[in-house]
Amino acid sequence: MRDMASNDEPYPLTAWAAQFQRIRTDLDDAMRREADLAAASRTPEQSAFLSSSFNQFWDAVDRVFSLARDGKEKEAREQIQLSLQERQAALSTAVARLLVQNTENEERAGQQIVQIYDRVQRQVYVFLAATLLAVLLTGLSLMRWTRRLFARMAELSDRRSELAQQLISTQESTLRYISRELHDEFGQILTAIGSMLKRAGAHAPEGSALGADLQEVREVTQSTLDKVRTLSQALHPVMLDEAGLESTLDWYIPTVERQTGIAISYEKQGPPFPVDGAAGVHIYRILQEALNNVARHSGAGQAWVRLRFLPDALELEVEDHGTGIAERPARQGIGLVAMRERSELMGGKIVFSRPASGGTLLHLTVPREKAESYGKEDHSIAGG
């Protein structure tokens, strides 16, 4: 516009029309794009003022080129100086204000974005803290519930052990009572009957039928007495109380051989130490049940019994090469359960395994202090 107003160029004013038209087209396109982008941060009054400023500027441009086309070059140049340049200055001022406002809006938008990020960050921290707190509370609750559960299980286990001990104590007391009744009452009665039959036979005529009958009845009585004594010993060997565990096993194992026909190899190792009566009853019952299982279920014709007196423990092993426990019916009898219970009552451990040659191996381990002092801690079984 300075060149147009100064008339320093050898071109007429109309020669500048095409250039202004290109500028107008570019500005119109830029205004449309700017309106789409700045619509949210600009007021309607500001948009109207900017549009009005552009319209006034282009109206002034149109008047200048209209005068120039009519041959009024001088008046056209005067319009440039008087009107068009002022319109340009006003338009530049308006655009500058809007640019400043856009800069301020961008700064505010940046601050808002920072605030949003800060707020989101705080919310994330709060969420993480709440999540960790929830996990912590859940963990504490689970730990508390688990402790209660284990305490309850321990209580039930103690009650189960106490009940098992009472049941076994009751069983042993009953067996002891029946054994004594058989040995003392029925044994004495049968012994008296045998004595009376012997005296009656002495008065019978020699070679008479009565003498033969009395002798036969006497033999039946003696056989019954022997069976009663054997049954009494099986229910509760008096030898356990009188001679101890080692002597009782020395008597019991040959007796089982005669009754079952199973060849039993009996081995003892280590220097013997005294075994408490109550612990001896448990060990004897475990051996008794193990040999009964060999006779009834294994189908084996031979078994091995090993008793080891170790410096810190007493070990008992019963082995057969018949049908293993795993090959027998899945339902466990009460005998296996009773063996485990008796082992736990002594503080020992019982393990059932399968030897390499097949069959079943029972291994019982009882700590020496338990084997020697079990009855001193609890006389319920030993004393009946």
Ordered by start, the domain boundaries in the chain are 2-121, 237-384
Q: Alpha-carbon distance 295 to 320, whole Å? A: 10
Share of the chain above pLDDT 90, in %: 27
Q: What is the pLDDT of residue 166?
A: 79
User: Within a 10 A sphere around the Cβ of 202, how many other Cβ atoms?
Assistant: 9
Residue 314 pLDDT more than 50? yes
- Residue 329 has a pLDDT of 45
- In this prediction, residue 321 carries a pLDDT of 92
Q: What is the pLDDT of residue 268?
A: 94
When pLDDT is averaged across residues 359-381 and rounded to a whole number, the result is 77
Task: Examine the pLDDT at 13 and tell me if it is beyond 90.
Answer: no
What pLDDT is attached to residue 381? 40
- Give 304's pLDDT tier (boundaries 50, 70, 90): very high
φ/ψ of residue 346, rounded to 5: -90, 0
Q: Band of the pLDDT at 11, cuts 50, 70, 90?
A: low
- Kindly report the backbone phi and psi dihedral angles of residue 186, in degrees, each rounded to the nearest multiple of 5, phi listed first: -65, -35
Write out pLDDT tens, residues 127-184: 999 999 999 999 999 999 999 999 888 888 778 777 777 777 787 778 878 877 877 7
Neighbours of 144 (CB within 10 A): 10
Question: Looking at residue 1, what is its pLDDT?
Answer: 61
Q: What is the pLDDT of residue 41?
A: 61
CA distance 183 to 198: 21
Flag whether pLDDT at 194 surpasses 80.
yes
**Average pLDDT in the 301-314 region?**
94
Question: Looking at residue 254, what is its pLDDT?
Answer: 93
Q: What is the spatial distance between Cα 172 and Cα 235, in angstroms, rounded to a whole number?
A: 9
Phi and psi for 360 in degrees, rounded to 5? -140, 140
pTM: 0.54
4-13, 83-92, 336-345, 363-372 — which is least confidently predicted? 4-13
Per-residue pLDDT, 330: 46
On the 0-12 / 13-18 / 19+ scale of CB atoms within 10 A, 200 is middle
Tell me which of 61 and 120 has the higher pLDDT.
120
pLDDT at site 333: 62
pLDDT of 68 > 80? The answer is no
pLDDT band at 39 (very low <50, low <70, confident <90, very high): low
Residues 6+ apart with CB under 8 A from 290: 318, 339, 362
Mean pLDDT, residues 42-71: 77
CATH class of this structure's domain 237-384: alpha beta
As a whole number, the mean pLDDT across the chain is 82
Residue 365, phi then psi, degrees to nearest 5? -125, 125
Q: How far is Cα 197 from Cα 191, in angstroms, rounded to an integer?
A: 10
Give the pLDDT of residue 349.
94
Least confident of 179-193, 267-281, 351-365: 179-193
Q: How confident is the model at residue 99 (pLDDT cuts 50, 70, 90)?
A: confident
Place of tokens 């020992």: 348
